[in-house]
Amino acid sequence: MGLTEGRAPRTIWKSPAALIRALAPDHPVMVLDTDRLAATARRFLEGFPGMVTYAVKANPDRAVIRTLVRAGITGFDVASPAEIDLIGQLAPGAARHYHNPVRARGEIRHAVAAGMQSWSVDSQSELDKLLAELPPQSEIAARFKLPVAGAAYDFGAKFGATPDLAATLLRRIAAGGHRASLTFHPGTQCTDPAAWESYILAAAGIARAAGITLCRLNVGGGFPAHRLGAVPPQLEAIFARIDHATSRAFGRQRPGLVCEPGRGLCADAFALITRVKALRDGRAVFLNDGIYGGLTELPQIGNLDRIEVLDPEGRPRHGPPLPRPVFGPTCDSLDRLPGELPLPADLAEGDYLIFHGAGAYSTVTNTRFNGFGQMSRLFVKTVS
Ligand SMILES: *Cc1c(COP(=O)(O)O)cnc(C)c1O
């Protein structure tokens, strides 16, 4: 993936600007602030009314996993044998929830041998496979979906049973001698607390229809990160809504809650430092990174507007904003950020654009397409 692990002794820069002054990097650099990551983890641990697990796929960087464990995270949502083994190695005591609802039989056997704490399922045929392989009293969560808006990206397009099918799956899970739970995912970067409430009310209806008392309710990921400067994530409002909705929907049958944030935990701890390779005829910006690198998601979920612009000496540019098309380095014409970005009129070749909050679905989806994608990962410490 072109990432360099920070081998000791590890340099920790005071800011992206300090790093730029010292290194003048020509390739993209992802900087991680582990204190900021630990602070976000504490915000979840203190605010969420249940167990907090980290969805490893958002950013499986070893420094991320280690920092989360030190901050008190005790569970991980994993989707593949490689993620199962990564967590087994870096967080040996932690719970692993295998919540990819489609698995090859060999993958199931690998996970059984590794000792998963929870599984999810959204179809009869995949449940047949689990019932044939899992030890008794395993926790299996039926994953359901609703037509709910509020997220940047619809997760129901691939996974999730209808509520009717979810009730059937719950009954079969219990009849098979396992612990029956429910789970859903409201869609990533979901800023609307009402989305969770709709799902929680539906979950109570599904459990009632099935005649099953749930072991646990996993309210998924989808928690928003700070992508737009003017819209900081309202995590506490979402936590409060989840807590209240669960009590209201389930009353005395209230199940234990679990969440599995990916983006909401890791995104804000990273900034992506990119460099202006060219300013074509004074207007169009060509960066050394784009949609095949660390900015993969932007065409699907929209621009990150927390952009800091520095000159080659690391000093801020102050020119008035000018809308500019921004292209990545490859020869593919799709390699462009959505719309136009307001960037300073005095922007120049060799300047740096720093995208703050770029830690989710970025390093891990970075490709080497067209010979680009060389990206290092370094450390900053911006909060004292
Ligand atoms: C991807 C994923 C998550 C994390 O989603 P975010 O939007 O990054 O929080 C959580 N649970 C499951 C099952 C997922 O597939």
Residue 91 sits in a domain whose CATH number is: 3.20.20.10
The model carries a pTM of 0.95
- The answer to whether the beta carbons of residues 69 and 94 sit under 8 Å apart is yes
**Same domain for 167 and 311:** no
* Any domain includes 117: yes
Q: Are 140 and 120 in contact (CB under 8 A)?
A: yes
- Residue 180's pLDDT is 98
β-pairing, 75-78 vs 95-98, is: parallel
Asked whether residue 3 is assigned to any structural domain, the reply reads no
Output the domain CATH number for residue 322: 2.40.37.10
Rounded-to-integer distance, Cα 361 and Cα 292, Å: 12
Residues 153 and 163 in one domain: yes
Question: For residue 156, is pLDDT > 90?
Answer: no
Name the percent of the chain lying above pLDDT 70: 95
**Is 223 in the same domain as 291?**
no
Q: Does some domain include residue 321?
A: yes
The answer, yes or no, to whether any atom of ligand 1 lies below 6 A from the CB of 97, is: no
pLDDT of res. 328: 98
DSSP 5: P
Span of 205-209, 298-302, 343-347, 380-384 with lowest mean pLDDT: 380-384
Q: pLDDT band at 384, cuts 50/70/90?
A: low
Mean pLDDT to the nearest integer, 358-375: 94
CA angle (207 as vertex; 205, 211 as ends), nearest 5: 115
Q: Which pLDDT band holds residue 193 (cuts at 50, 70, 90)? A: very high
Three-state DSSP class for residue 38: helix
Report if residue 2 sits inside a domain. Answer: no
Asked whether residue 150 carries a pLDDT value surpassing 90, the answer given is no
Residues 99 and 88 both lie in one domain: yes
- Asked if residue 362 and residue 326 are part of one domain, the reply reads yes
User: Which one is predicted more confidently, 285 or 158?
Assistant: 285
Distance CA 73, CA 225 (A): 18
Q: How far apart are CA 113 and CA 133, in angstroms?
A: 10
Mean of the per-residue pLDDT values of the chain: 95
Strands (E), 293-362: 307-310, 321-324, 326-327, 341-344, 352-356
186 and 215 in a single domain? The answer is yes
User: Given pLDDT bands bounded at 50, 70 and 90, which one contains residue 2?
Assistant: very low
**3-state secondary structure at position 155:** helix
The pLDDT of residue 159 is above 70: yes
- Comparing CA positions, the residue from 134, 84, 250, 236 lying closest to residue 182 is 250
Range in 4-13, 134-143, 307-316 with the lowest mean pLDDT: 4-13
Cβ–ligand 1 distance for 188 under 6 Å, the answer yes
Q: Could you give the 3-state DSSP secondary structure of residue 224?
A: coil
pLDDT for the residue numbered 334: 95
Q: Is the CB of 262 under 6 A from ligand 1?
A: yes
> 43 C-alpha to center of ligand 1: Å?
18
| Residue 260 Cβ contacting ligand 1 at under 6 Å | yes
Q: Do 301 and 376 fall within a single domain?
A: yes
Which residue's C-alpha comes closest to atom 5 of ligand 1?
221
* Ligand 1 pocket mutation pick from 44, 48, 53, 77 by most atoms within 8 angstroms of CB: 77
For residue 56, how far is its CA from the centre of ligand 1 (angstroms)? 9
Q: Is the CB of 185 under 6 A from ligand 1?
A: yes
Split at pLDDT 50, 70, 90, the class of 152 is low
Cα of 261 vs centre of ligand 1, distance in Å, is 6
The CA distance from 176 to 18, in Å, is 59
Centroid of ligand 1 to alpha carbon of 60 (angstroms): 13
Catalytic residue annotation:
331
Cα(99) to centroid(ligand 1), Å: 9
Domain that holds residue 290: 12-31+267-380
Question: Does any ligand 1 atom lie closer than 6 A to the CB of residue 77?
Answer: yes
Residues 249 and 323 in one domain: no
Please say if the pLDDT value at position 1 is more than 60: no
Question: Which one of 51, 54, 56, 57 would you pick to mutate in the ligand 1 pocket, going by the greatest count of ligand atoms within 8 A of its CB?
Answer: 57
Helix boundaries (H) for the chain: 16-23, 34-47, 62-71, 81-90, 105-114, 124-133, 163-175, 193-210, 235-250, 263-266, 298-301
Question: Residue 8: pLDDT above 60?
Answer: no
Does the structure show a pLDDT above 60 at 158?
yes
Ligand 1 atom 13: the closest Cα is on which residue? Answer: 99
β-sheet bridge partners, residue 98: 78, 119
Q: Is residue 119 part of a domain?
A: yes
Examine the fold and report which residue of 236, 266, 296 is the final residue of a domain before the chain moves on. Answer: 266
Amino acid residing at 61: D
Are 96 and 135 found together in one domain?
yes
Please, are residues 174 and 182 in contact by the beta-carbon 8 Å criterion? no
| Whether the CB of 83 sits within 6 Å of ligand 1 | no
How far apart (Å, rounded) are the C-alpha atoms in residues 337 and 10?
33
